[in-house]
Structure 1
Amino acid sequence: MLSTVRNDDVTQKDADRAVVVAVTSRAVFECGADDDEVYKVGRAFPLLQALRRVNERLLEQDSAETLLFDVVLVTTDRQQQQQRSRIISSTRRHGLEVGRFCFSSEEDFIEGLLKNSVGLFLTTEGDEASQASQKGVVSALLEQQTTSCSSEKLRVFFCGDSVIQPETGPTPASRAAAQSFSTQVGEMRRKFSMTDSPLSVVMVMSRGGRDSCCAALHTLRFRGVSVDEVYCLAGAPRGPILSELRPHFWLSDGFSSLEE
């Protein structure tokens, strides 16, 4: 049974302009004992803080700003479904800026993502990320390293290889969604200076040389995305450098693990 509950404790975002990010409750909270009144925060907590920080800075610059992150908390776990009041109260207790709660079964969570116009779906489960990507929802895995990410600056990593080889994405719909999301992130980034930004955009090129890297940068700039840092690995494993740089999430036209 699919249901969406609005969180009236936070200001609702403009549906036409907001960048909707859905995060699974398993990534946000650690399920404790049955008598725990409030869940402990999980690996996605620094991510949600960083998203909120971007929103705060955007509104500091322009109180009428509508291009903001809008977070949806997705719950498919049956046990947590029965404890939805605890999930909502845990969100409030920890001061998380969650606009809506989407409760669904494992079979219809994709419908929930589509109904909530989700632009990016973040999960700890590869199967969920794969299913969402196949249905045209940009998806990424939240690795354990996310727990040590900065809560003050959102670090978004783009896969340069998929930027110049978009045919490698799982579906045309997911490729189009990835381009749309990157354009929105680029527009957000341009609202801040080069030296004082709560949002950092990084491109990592796993294969190819300087020409391939330049081609990927040109494509991102054509989409309106200015890149803060570039790393050309020329075939070297990307896992070690990504673990060191600690991105909040890694974006390709499909989904990807930082350990690849």
Structure 2
Amino acid sequence: MEVREAGTEFDCGLKMGGKVEVILNTQLKQQKDPKEAITIAISARALFDMEEEHELFLSEGRETFETFQLTNEDVPLKEGIVYPFIKAVQMVNARLLARNPEEKQLFEIILLSTHSAEGGVRIINSVNYYGLEISKFCFLNGSDPSKYLHSNNVKLFLSACESAVCNALKKDIPAALMLHQQYQTAQEHLKVAFDGDSVLFSDETDVVFKEKGLDAVIKYEKDREHVPIGEGPLKEFAMILGEMKKKFSPENDPINTYLVTARSGNDMGIRAIKTLRNWGLKIDEAFFMAGSPKGPLLSHIQPHIFFDDNARNIKGARAYGIPSAFVPSGCE
């Protein structure tokens, strides 16, 4: 589960209680329909590069951090790891509305910060500076973000706070840890890549492999070839993307989805393919890596986000500048 690098600190300043401040973004031309929208929640530190500011918070405390933010509130924050994904999501919204101006099933983005609204003006100003379509800002004053995800019907939560991600996953909310990194992504389309086991699928096969080894897991998969694999934490979000893709003709589809799994195609690929078929989920391209490094392939795809539960795969993808979303398993 460990993905942190030397010197990396994930302390998010979470505490019990805390006043929650919610600010609607009145600069948006059109607010999304909360009953129909696909809500994605992101943390401020995932959307923007706030590593220096976070280091100040850890070393000098909340008051010094907020004073710094107030002093620099007109200085836009730098783009963070989730930024290109959000811009691509906005592109999909624009394409949906161009196709049907009455479309209601749109992506809605809400931003969560564990800090106060007083120190959050710089975040709001940065959102407006980049023209990001954030519907509302939730300043939690140290409260655990996962407490507010269900009430907002969040379908995906991306955060730079490990404990917040684990808390969300324990409440069955799709979530992933996004760490600051250098990145490169495709300019066209929304490209999303998923690992298989413990991400798109459940961890049942991983458990057998860890407990009994490769030969046993191959037999396990062959014996259950016609039994769909259990659902993983990102299955629902993948299904949502699949439904959105159906709104477009193949030649005009702005969404590309990928399965990049460590499974081998010959021994363990058939059950995975049949599971996707059973779900009615069409993936644009599926790659069965048979344990090979995923980084080189992902560098060719250049997804806006890559979900994986394996720290080695995350590290390998990051080395190629791929925005990597760690889905921790076994959160305590």
Band the TM-score falls in, shorter-chain normalisation: 0.7 to 0.9
CA RMSD of aligned residues (A): 2.8
Task: Tell me what 1:203 maps to.
Answer: 259
Matches within 5 A, 1:118-133: 118-133=154-169
1:121-158 deviations in Å (ceiling 9; x for gaps): 11233333222211211012335567422343211112
1:180-236 deviations in Å (ceiling 9; x for gaps): 322211100122233332211101121233353233233223333221111110122
Task: Pick closer, same or farther for the CA change 1:193–1:259 going to 2, 3 Å.
Answer: farther
Matches within 5 A, 1:1-260: 1-10=19-28, 11-31=30-50, 34-37=71-74, 38-76=76-114, 78=115, 81-144=117-180, 147-162=183-198, 163-165=200-202, 167=204, 175=231, 178-210=234-266, 212-251=268-307, 258-259=314-315
1:103-126 deviations in Å (ceiling 9; x for gaps): 114442111222211110112333
Task: Pick closer, same or farther for the CA change 1:142–1:245 going to 2, 3 Å.
Answer: farther
> Could you tell me whether the CA contact under 8 Å between 2:264 and 2:291 is conserved in 1?
yes
Aligned-partner Cα distance in 2 for 1:229–1:151: 19
- What is the aligned-residue identity percentage? 32
Gaps of 5+ in 2: 1-18, 54-67, 207-229, 317-332
Q: Secondary structure at the match of 1:155?
A: strand
- Mean Cα deviation higher: 233-242 or 196-205: 233-242
Counterpart of 1:204, as a letter, is V
TM-score by length of 2: 0.67
Aligned-partner Cα distance in 2 for 1:63–1:146: 36
Counterpart of 2:84, as a letter, is P
Task: Pick closer, same or farther for the CA change 1:207–1:24 going to 2, 3 Å.
Answer: same
> Could you tell me whether the CA contact under 8 Å between 1:140 and 1:255 is conserved in 2?
no
> Could you tell me whether the CA contact under 8 Å between 1:146 and 1:248 is conserved in 2?
no
> Could you tell me whether the CA contact under 8 Å between 1:242 and 1:258 is conserved in 2?
no
> Could you tell me whether the CA contact under 8 Å between 2:73 and 2:125 is conserved in 1?
no
Q: Secondary structure at the match of 1:181?
A: helix
Gaps of 5+ in 1: none
1:165-185 deviations in Å (ceiling 9; x for gaps): 45479xxxx957633322211
Aligned-partner Cα distance in 1 for 2:280–2:107: 18
> Could you tell me whether the CA contact under 8 Å between 1:140 and 1:250 is conserved in 2?
no
Counterpart of 1:43, as a letter, is I
Aligned-partner Cα distance in 1 for 2:165–2:205: 16
TM-score by length of 1: 0.84
> Could you tell me whether the CA contact under 8 Å between 1:26 and 1:42 is conserved in 2?
yes
> Could you tell me whether the CA contact under 8 Å between 1:18 and 1:68 is conserved in 2?
yes
Count of residues in correspondence between the two structures:
253
Aligned-partner Cα distance in 2 for 1:71–1:110: 16
Q: Which has the larger radius of gyration?
A: 2
Q: Secondary structure at the match of 2:42?
A: strand
> Could you tell me whether the CA contact under 8 Å between 1:43 and 1:147 is conserved in 2?
yes
Aligned-partner Cα distance in 1 for 2:167–2:27: 31
> Could you tell me whether the CA contact under 8 Å between 1:157 and 1:202 is conserved in 2?
yes
Task: Pick closer, same or farther for the CA change 1:209–1:177 going to 2, 3 Å.
Answer: closer
